[in-house]
Amino acid sequence: MGELIRRIREWLRWRRLNDTLAEELEFHRTMTERRLEAGGMAPDAAAAAARRALGSGALAADQSRDVWMAAWAQDLARDGRFAGRMLARERGFTIVVVTVLGLGIGTASLMWVLLDAVCVRGLPIPRVDRVVFVGARDSQKRDIAISYREFDRIRAATPGVDDVSAFANAPAVLGDDDRAPDRAFATYVSAPMFQMLRERPQLGRDFTPSDDRPGATPVAILAAGMWRSRYASDPSVVGRVIRINGTPTAIVGVMREPFRFPSVTDVWLPLSAMPGISTEQRAARALNVVMRMRDDASLASVRSALADEADVLAHDYPATNAGVTLDAVTINERYNGRLTDTVWIAFMLVAAIVLLVACANAANMLLMRAAARSHEIAVRASLGASRGRIVRQLVVESALLACLGGALGAGLSVGGLRAINAIIPESTLAYWMRFQFDLRAFAGLCALCLGTVAVFGLAPALHVASANVNDVIKSGGRGGSGAMRGRRWTTICLAAECGLTMVMLAALVVGIRTARDTGRKFVAVDSANVLTTWVTLPADRYRTTDARRAFYRNVEQRLATVPGTSVVAMAATLPLGGAAPRLLEIDDQPSAPDRMPTVWTVTVSAKYFDAVGVGVARGRAFGDRDGLPGYEAAIVNQRFAEMFFPGRDAIGRHVRLSEANAPAAATPALPIVGVVPSVRQRTTTADPDPIVYVPLAAAPPVSARLLVRGTTSMPTGSSLRDALHEIDSELPLYRTLPMAQALDASQWNGRISEWLLNTIAIVAVGLASLGLYAVIAHAIAQRTREIGIRVALGATRARVVSMVARQAAMHFVLGVGTGVACVFGFARLTEGPAGAQVTPGYQITSASTLAAVAALLAVITAIASIAPAWRACRVDPARTLRES
């Protein structure tokens, strides 16, 4: 270890080592010479004898140096230093190639990290392929959860599996005497869950079967994150009794970082402690079931056993189980994003295209330089450099270029990931989805770029090897068959580059247009001076509908008295915060259950539409009594009215809403009392959904968003908290944010997409302009002599500029030509079987898209030709002619 450090210290002071050795050997020689002179030899003879006696000083110095660094490494270092000097001298070339490679590597590795985290890596569970998720589907093939009785049967009747476990998520409130209450994500799990996942608590113990029995002492296990943030990683928390949803509960364990199965859980509780868990009711479907297959079982055998079990259940309990099927998939298949989703295909394509463009670009520049280098290399070859020596030099140069590109790429991708992670709010992505720099993928991409650079970087060596050194020297690196061949390749690379860039730009133009249209149009809420917070009502004190209704009424009245408050409202979710799907039946359009359309519902209080500032378009808003028994009412959005009552008045019609599994007849018919402007509830769809707003009093939710609008300024969080704690001191407020911020946070998905689109657009434009610049600049540089002659013969500046312009125009035409061809090819390639959902005008082959992209390319070409044109104008005929 110490030896290595001493070696490295010496490498860093290599020049000093050389000087030291030289001086030492010189001293040695002088001393020998003096001794010989003292012995009576003539000075000249003594000097010669001293040299003879001691052999070559250079050899001694070499062998001394070899002690510190192996000879090959010294050669490599020398090549590296030379390559560094070469690259520093051709600064423009180096910067362009490194930027191009860096952008390509950075973008592709960023995309890979996202793809890997969401679609490929999966859950960090030992032998994850043996863990399966049991899915149930109803007669209409919709995913449904599993009831406790079904879970019992699956546990008993599935052969070849261990540790069959069920889980269900629910919000919970953690309370202690000495701390403010916290809202937490709780998951109720059956006892063998952690054993099945092969996870063990870092502190305390796992759940035991006796914890998971009705009437057992309440216990809980904390996630590491909650342990850290709420209890400052205090180990004595194990054994402490805290209140979870008001119930005194003993903490028996703490899991390890970053385990938060199934997604972002803060605290786990035994399944038996789940409020309302019904071990009897077959229609109460609330559970997800996971289990681990034994080595002798196969997924096929488990699936067929489950299918048989579903048949038995359907036969025995037709009322609840008719048509319900059971199936099993591996847990990664259940939780991973699908690589075949359009968005991921698009990401992969974009990443591949950017990388290809970058490689083509780099190859092009290296080829162009090859023509210029071949002269220098021919000179070196004629001076005695071996082919191996020249190739090694070129390889080192290429590797250095690729390394610089790789370093830039690493920096870009790390910075990009940091930006993306900053956009994602905490506890939104499942614990295993981490956007972290992936060294392996990065190394793979670097290898690809290194390969490209090495192959094309070696072009001059091959050229010299195949051509007569004499000819190359005589031609002065200008003409020759090799240069012609190089130019042909350059043209092909540029055409490919333009084609791919145009495909990407066309796709981006369409993407940006679509995003702009859908993103802004339907979020027309006025979020100024609105503060939002999230309240979750502990189940023990607010078990009944009446208790919750009374609470919300209290909150409304209490907050309205806070000075400076103008509107107080509650909603199950904010705009863009999601909505609950329901099956719709319209009074005079009865339909079979499997034909009923799905609409989305949002539970809101009376003043909600005032609070978000959209108002009511027609009819009226909810009143205080709406939603109470006998005062049923519903409000729909304009999208709903257009979809279901085109050309007619929606007000006064009746709708029935039912959950996927419950019979529709049981729900009351709701008269539509108002129509409101369309506000987007979900971020994933292009069009706004048809939404039915139902009054809060009809079904007061356990967890709701509170919206408080100030008259002139944003209400303060503390005024909100004080008022609420007067009503209930153990009520946690969660995510107290101005509404604008809350909306932004819920749009993180869209914002990341937008950020990526913008970044890629900039990268694409950058790569294209660099590529065009390099080619045009090179073409002009090749003609420097010709331009010199023309100027000498009286050509004006305007003539020279028009020459450059012609050159640029030629490349532009070539680029647009291949580009258009590529766009049409790409459209054919990605054309869906139906292709129906493409909005006209948003096709990448539409004339307006192509025109926009061509215009962009024209601007890029113009920018790329400014510098070459300027250089061509400053050609000094006398100097140019003298030089050649």
**Cα 357–395–105 angle (5° rounding)?**
30
Q: Does 59 bind other proteins (CB under 8 A)?
A: yes
CB of 63 to other proteins, least distance (A): 4
Residue from 27, 120, 470, 758 in contact with other proteins (CB under 8 A) = 27
Q: How far is the CB of 14 from other proteins (least distance, A)?
A: 13
Stretch touching other proteins by CB under 8 A, among 23-31, 413-421, 723-731, 802-810: 23-31
Distance CA 665, CA 342 (A): 39
Residue 64 binding other proteins, by CB under 8 A: yes
Structural contact between residues 502 and 845, judged by C-beta atoms closer than 8 angstroms: no
32 near other proteins, rule: CB under 8 A: yes
Q: Per residue in 632-641, is it b (16+ CB within 10 Å) or e — as a string?
A: bbbbbbbbbb
How many C-beta atoms surround the C-beta of residue 746 within 10 A?
A: 21
Q: 3-state class of 330 per DSSP?
A: strand
350-379: contacts with other proteins (CB under 8 A)? none
Within positions 80 to 99, which residues make up the interface with other proteins, using CB under 8 A? none
41, 47, 60, 284: residue in contact with other proteins (rule CB under 8 A): 60
Looking at the DSSP bridge assignments, the partners of residue 695 are: 604
Query: Applying CB under 8 A, does 68 fall inside the site for other proteins?
Result: yes
- For β-strands 219-222 and 247-254, DSSP reports them as parallel
Give the CA radius of gyration of the chain: 37
Select the residue interacting with other proteins from 21, 356, 423, 424 (CB under 8 A).
Answer: 21
CB of 47 to other proteins, least distance (A): 15
Residue 335 lies near other proteins (rule: CB under 8 A): no
Asked if 37 interacts with other proteins (CB under 8 A), we say no
Nearest to 229 by CA among 427, 429, 434, 436: 427
The reply on whether position 3 binds other proteins by CB under 8 A is yes
Least separation in angstroms between residue 2's CB and other proteins is 7
Q: Which is nearer to other proteins, 59 or 851 (CB)?
A: 59
CB of 332 to other proteins, least distance (A): 52
User: Is residue 671 near other proteins by the rule CB under 8 A?
Assistant: no
Q: Which of positions 151-210 make contact with other proteins (CB under 8 A)?
A: none
Q: Give the C-alpha separation, 182 to 226, whole Å.
A: 10
- Can residue 662 be called a binding residue for other proteins (CB under 8 A)? no
DSSP state letters, 535-579:
EE--TTT--SHHHHHHHHHHHHHHHHTSTTEEEEEEESS-TTS--
Report the residue from 19, 66, 234, 687 that binds other proteins according to the rule CB under 8 A. 66
Judged by CB under 8 A, the stretch of 38-46, 59-67, 175-183, 660-668 that binds other proteins is 59-67
Four-CA torsion 661, 662, 663, 667, nearest 10 degrees: -140
- Helices 342-382 & 439-457, crossing angle to 10 degrees? 40
Q: Which CB, 30 or 386, lies closer to other proteins?
A: 30
Q: What's at 130, amino acid-wise?
A: R
How far is the C-alpha of 694 from the C-alpha of 691, rounded, in Å? 10
Minimal distance, residue 67 CB to other proteins, in Å: 4
Among the residue ranges 27-35, 289-297, 375-383, 405-413, the one whose residues contact other proteins (CB under 8 A): 27-35
In whole angstroms, what is the distance from residue 418 CA to residue 435 CA?
A: 9
Query: How far apart are CB 462 and other proteins at their closest, in Å?
Result: 40
The set of residues, in sequence order, having a beta carbon less than 8 Å from that of 148 and lying 6+ positions away, is 166, 277, 278, 279, 280, 284, 286, 287
CA gap 404, 107 in Å, rounded: 16
| Contact indicator for 784, 825 with CB cutoff of 8 Å | no
Burial 500-517 (b: 16+ CB within 10 A, else e): bbbbbbbbbbbbebebee
Could you tell me which stretch among 63-71, 378-386, 480-488, 694-702 binds other proteins (CB under 8 A)? 63-71
CB hemisphere CA count around 232 (13 angstroms): 1
Of 17 and 858, the one with the shorter C-beta distance to other proteins is: 17
Is 721 a binding residue for other proteins by CB under 8 A? The answer is: no
Q: Is 8 in the site for other proteins (CB under 8 A)?
A: no
**Residue 442 Cβ vs other proteins, minimum distance, rounded to whole Å:** 35
* Near other proteins by CB under 8 A: residue from 54, 414, 430, 838: 54
Residue with tokens 């312009």: 805
Which one of residues 12, 13, 23, 799 is an interface residue with other proteins (CB under 8 A)?
Answer: 23
Closest approach of other proteins to the CB of residue 389, in Å: 25
- Looking at 18, 30, 382, 685, which residue binds other proteins (CB under 8 A)? 30
Distance between CA atoms of residues 670 and 498, nearest Å:
59
CA-closest candidate to residue 676, choices 655, 692, 659: 692
Residues 259-288 that bind other proteins (CB under 8 A): none
Asked whether position 63 contacts other proteins by CB under 8 A, the answer is: yes
Nearer to other proteins, 23 or 257 (CB): 23
Contacts with other proteins, residue ranges (CB under 8 A) = 2-3, 6-7, 20-21, 23-25, 27-28, 30-32, 34, 54-57, 59-61, 63-68
